[in-house]
Amino acid sequence: MSFNIQNASFQKNSSSSSSSDSFELDQWIIDENETIEREEQIAVNLFINNNRFIHQFNQENNHVSHRGSIIGRSVIFRDRENAHRNLYNDYFSDHPVYGEREFHRRFRMSRRLFLHLVDAVKQHDNYFNQRHDASGRLGLSTLQKVTAALRILAYGMPADATDEYIKIGESTAIECMKRFCRAIVFVFSEWYLRSPTPVDVSRLLNIGQQRGFPGMLGSLDCMHWKWKNCPTAWAGQFAGRSGSPTIILEAVADYDLWI
């Protein structure tokens, strides 16, 4: 952990000089010409010995720091290495604890497709590659990040709930989900969001025929999307029972959810 404090100047309050909680602040005045080693040492000492004063100083100046450790926040040690090992042994080893049937039921896809998605997002976004942190410790694996994202998407589970098994923090799980969605759209949208070819139409019609719906390409679904920036002149035309302007989004998807 490193703290960079520049041009910090603290003045004593004469009214509190006799208080037992007063601090000798003159020794912590930082000069711009001091060496980096001295500056870092002063910052560390300030944080360790005078953290209460720093917190009070930030409040008085309406300054809230978002870098480094936050006073009062507990540190959770997550054994992410063992979590990755358990995840791998449960689902991805040569002889996993849970077979293909359980995998498909819990991940909503086959293991082969899951690994294909893992390779795709890794190549698109370096965020999903496992890296070392500043202390040299291995970070979260690709399997952990993608599994957390898929469980949020497939089950609608809270991001914080992924911490119990995958050992991943809430904010990290949300970041994984966002990056996973962007990578999937970028890599696969050209194929899955295109217009059907004659071969695709023939295949879809055959599927509909087999299921008792001749001539059906897919199922139609729609949803109301709130139009935040709707022009005032058009608001009445697009306002429904909700009272706010909305746009109806319609999509046709086949049995395999190809939109």
**pLDDT at position 11:** 43
Q: What is the pTM of this model?
A: 0.56
Phi–psi pair at 96, nearest 5 degrees: -70, 160
**pLDDT at position 196:** 85
**pLDDT at position 119:** 92
Under DSSP, the state recorded for 220 is E
The structure tokens listed for 146 are 């993608």
Which pLDDT band, with edges at 50, 70 and 90, does 72 fall under?
low
pLDDT tens sequence across 235-259: 888 887 778 899 888 888 887 777 7
pLDDT tens sequence across 206-239: 988 998 889 888 888 888 888 888 898 888 888 8
Task: Give the pLDDT mean for 145-160.
Answer: 87
Task: Give the pLDDT mean for 39-50.
Answer: 47
A 10 A CB-CB count for 11 gives 8
